[in-house]
């Protein structure tokens, strides 16, 4: 047996090398590659989407916007051009899910505080209460990094429409005044091309971990 191995050692070595290479390539080809979906209005619960865009099934992107942040600066889509960002909807006096959501936003902020390509954007659904000074106070309390995270207010109608036509993430009151909004726990992941790539429960730690991993994936995504 030993003499046989010595005689054919080069052939055996070549076979073993081929086997290792073949198995490695097969494993690579058969392993599912991570891929994040691109969401359009027709893919989402219609309760969260304005009726005028519910039929849209492709090419959906976040519309242009103009709001005022916690420092009184005008924030537009230009501030987020070429950025990956997480958007949400909240109000500063919310006693239930908002404190948990904003604490989790802080966690995301800290995870990417040194990554310029990642930002955050929080919209108030109660602009009549959340003035610039109120947002500033809230931002200081939460440890918001101004260059990383904008808390914005603006015209109620504009916030309403971007929530339901662009981010596909806010419910409406069944009764009440026009443009009444009931924010959800959704965090919305937007890529560098202004496309919606994911929805996450902003109150759930496992979902936050998944969101952080998906952001890291988008940073390396080629298309």
Residue 60's nearest CA partner among 188, 152, 212 is: 188
Residue 208's nearest CA partner among 222, 193, 198 is: 198
Radius of gyration of the CA atoms of the chain, in A: 24
How far, in Å, CA of 130 to CA of 181, rounded?
Answer: 14
Q: Is 94 flagged in the annotation as binding? A: yes
Q: Is 60 flagged in the annotation as binding? A: no
How far, in Å, CA of 29 to CA of 25, rounded?
Answer: 6
CA 133 to chain centre: 27
Return the biggest CA–CA distance within the chain. Answer: 92
**C-alpha triplet 5, 10, 13: angle, nearest 5°:** 85
Q: Is 98 flagged in the annotation as binding? A: yes
Q: What residues form the annotated binding site?
A: 94, 98, 183
Q: What residues form the annotated binding site for Cu cation?
A: 94, 98, 183
């Amino acid at each position: 047996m030993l003499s046989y191995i010595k005689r054919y050692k080069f052939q055996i070595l070549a076979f073993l090398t081929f086997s290792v290479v073949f198995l490695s390539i097969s494993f690579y080809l058969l392993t599912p590659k991570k891929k994040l979906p691109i969401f359009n209005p027709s893919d989402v619960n219609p309760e969260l989407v304005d009726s005028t865009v519910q039929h849209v099934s492709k090419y959906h992107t976040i519309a242009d916007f103009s709001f005022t942040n916690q420092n009184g600066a005008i924030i537009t889509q230009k501030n987020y051009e070429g950025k990956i960002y997480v958007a949400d909807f909240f109000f500063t006096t919310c006693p239930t899910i908002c404190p948990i959501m904003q604490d989790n936003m802080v966690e995301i902020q800290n995870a990417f505080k040194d990554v310029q390509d990642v930002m955050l954007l929080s919209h108030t659904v109660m602009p009549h209460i959340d003035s610039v000074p109120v947002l500033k106070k809230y931002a200081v309390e939460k440890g918001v990094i101004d260059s990383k995270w904008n808390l914005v207010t603006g015209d109620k109608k504009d916030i309403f429409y971007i929530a339901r036509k662009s981010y596909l993430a806010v419910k409406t009151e069944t009764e009440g005044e026009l443009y009444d909004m009931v924010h959800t726990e959704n965090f919305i992941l937007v890529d560098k091309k202004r496309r919606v790539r994911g929805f996450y429960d902003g109150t759930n730690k496992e979902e936050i971990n998944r969101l952080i991993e998906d952001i890291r994936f988008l940073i390396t995504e080629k298309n």
